[in-house]
Every structure is written in C-alpha cells, then in structure tokens.
Amino acid sequence: MSREHTIARERVHFRWDRSLPPVLEIEPGDTVAYDLEEVSAGQITPRSTAADLARVDMDRVYPLAGPVYVKGARPSDALAVTVVDLIPDPWGWTSISPDLGLLGSEFAPYLHHWDLAAGDHTMLKPGVRVLLEPFCGTMGVAPASEGRFPVMPPGPFGGNMDIRHLTVGSTVVLPVWADGALFSVGDCHAAQGDGEVSVSAIECPMRAALRFDLRPNARLTSPRFMTPGPLAARAAHSGYYATTGIGPDLMEGARAAIRDMIRMLTEEHGLTREEAYVLCSVAVDLKISEVVDHPNWVVSACLPRAVFLA
C-alpha cells in the first residue's frame, strides 16, 4: 500500500554526491511532500535589492531536498517521478547578473520582485501579465561517478534541466545510476520561458508533492518526460509574437532572437530594456525552427500575446 511522506525545508544539500546518506527511504508508489526553498536558499528576500546579488554566496545556491532512497531501484532501472501538486509561495524574484545568462554582459545588475498572491498570474507592470505555470527546475538522481559536483549543469542523471513543462500531471523518467536512485529536487519556478535566458526564472519557495515509481530494466541513457496535454496551453489562445536569429551558430542565433525581442518590447510596448529581458526569461520560448539548411540555422523567440492586457 502506498504511503505519503514529508521532507522539511532544512533537509537540503548543495552538490550532487552519490555518497550522501538518504534523508528518507520509500517504497515505489509512495508520494513525498516537500517544503522547498528558493534557489538562493534565503539569501535573496523580499527586501533585497540589485546590490545584494553581488553578495550571494554561490556555494549556497541550489539547495536540493533529499536525497530520497527508493527501495528496489538499481542501475539499469528508471525512476518515474510524477508531479502531483505544486503550490508557490506568494513571493518570487527574477534577476539579471552581468556574468550569467544569455546576454548578461550587456546589462547591469537588476532584481525584480513578483507578487504571486493571485495564484494563477502575476504582473510585470500594469498591462503586462505573466501566467503562472509552476515547476521544479531541478530533479535528478545520484550521478554515476564518485565525487561532489555542482548542481548546474544537468547531465544524464537529470539535474538542473529547467524543463518548464514538468508541471502538475507530468512525469519525468530518470535513468538510475546508484542503488536506491537517491533522488533530489529543488530550484522552484512559478513561471519560465523555454531558455530561461537571464539564468533566472520566477524563483520562489514552493510546496511540492511527487509520486515515485520504478521501471525495471529500462536502460535509459538520458531523461525522458511526458506531459498530460498541449505545451503551454494556457498562454497560446491569443497567438504569439516572434523574432528570429539566423546564422551558423545556434547560441548566437538565440542571442540575436532575444536581442530583437527586447528591441520590439522596448520600442512597441514601452518596457525598459531590463523589464524586457526579465520578460524574455520568464515568458519567451526559444525554438529551433530548423537545423537542415546548411550553413545557417534558425532560432525563433516566441512571446505569447496574452501577456499584454487589452
């Protein structure tokens, strides 16, 4: 019979490390409720300013709740993690840091606070609305190698994948590399665009409930995921604005597309450059439109028109 468990907010670690002892052991089919901290582990608060970004201790970012030992999980199996519930706290933040993100070197430090109390949306400014689609940016199991590894970047064990479509009802399937899988979770986001271009979504504390199941002998080499319906269905009803970047390098194409989106938002909608870049990080989806017309590929930046209130 499946059981429900709880992990308190303080049961965290800050590195991937397969030698860490589990904080909880569960059976397949069990559900775990987490009280998750935001990505700075409390270093950024509702009273913080942009100046506080330079004082963040990077060794104390990405607090991960866990690890959780799933009985019976063995290497070559897969761990299926279904998102049962996600409830953001009523406050969140998004930052721009000069040494991070797609265009960070083109901006000064900037910090935006979000009021998430409405539950289903938040306002960047009057007339500019962001729909909330909460998810956990980091979900992963212990890596195959011994040692201590930063939470960022992701790997074949999952980790800081920032897949914004892992919302309630979705399932991520992770290859198991260590006995018990040793699953951890964190980096909660109330909303994000595909790309998270400023390296910051709407970061927030969150209550999360996840259900765990085993898929024996799946022999996956990287994570897979399933969603219960169309991607970004809530935002798509009014169509999209899109800009493009075209050239022989996909990263440069992404930069070009975002720069042009920022230009459109400032010239046509009256946003500051900082507001436009923040909006790109939390609401714009980067898409690879083609990679077959050598030597130039196309990256599109797509913004839901629903963000602008009539």
Give dist(CA 241, CA 180) in Å, integer.
45
241 and 213 inside one domain: no
Does residue 256 belong to any structural domain of this protein?
yes
Last-in-domain residue among 170, 191, 226 = 226
Query: Which pLDDT does position 99 carry in this prediction?
Result: 87
Please tell me the predicted confidence (pLDDT) of residue 224.
Answer: 98
Specify the number of domains making up the chain: 2
Euclidean distance between CA atoms 22 and 307, whole angstroms: 42
One domain for residues 136 and 260:
no
Distance CA 187, CA 201 (A): 10
Both 69 and 173 in one domain: the answer is: yes
The CATH number of residue 81's host domain is 2.60.120.580
Task: Specify the DSSP element, H or E, that contains 62.
Answer: none
Q: Which pLDDT tens digit goes with each residue over 160-179?
A: 999 999 999 999 999 999 99
Low-confidence ranges of the chain (pLDDT < 70): 310
Is 127 part of any domain?
yes
- Bridge partner residues of 64 (DSSP): 13, 186
Q: Are residues 59 and 179 in the same domain?
A: yes
- For residue 33 the two structure tokens come to 């409720």
Task: Answer with the one of 226, 252, 276 that is the final residue of a domain.
Answer: 226
Q: How far apart are CA 310 and CA 304, in angstroms?
A: 14
218 lies in the same domain as 128 = yes
Q: Is residue 258 part of a domain?
A: yes
Tokens of 292: 């077959």
Residue 231, in any domain of the structure: no
Query: Domain end: 167, 195, 226, which one?
Result: 226
Query: What is the pLDDT at residue 216?
Result: 98
**Residue 102: inside a domain, yes or no?**
yes
Pair (144, 212) in one structural domain: yes
pLDDT of residue 310: 67
CA 212 to chain centre: 20
- What Å distances lie between residue 40 and 59, 109, 184, 286, CA to CA? 10, 16, 16, 25
Query: Do 21 and 120 belong together in one domain?
Result: yes
CATH number at residue 289: 3.10.28.20
Answer yes or no: do 244 and 220 share one domain.
no
Please, are residues 236 and 94 in contact by the beta-carbon 8 Å criterion? Answer: no
Same domain, 147 and 277: no
**Within-domain flag for 34:** yes
pLDDT number for residue 92 = 98
Residue 195 lies in a domain: yes
* Contact indicator for 45, 67 with CB cutoff of 8 Å: no
pLDDT digits (tens, 9 = 90+) for 29-85: 999 999 999 999 999 999 999 999 999 999 999 999 999 999 999 999 999 999 999
| CA-angle at 149, arms to 147 and 150, nearest 5° | 165
Determine the structural domain holding residue 294 and report its residue range: 236-307
One domain, residues 149 and 8 = yes
180 and 106 inside one domain: yes
Same domain (yes/no): 220, 95: yes
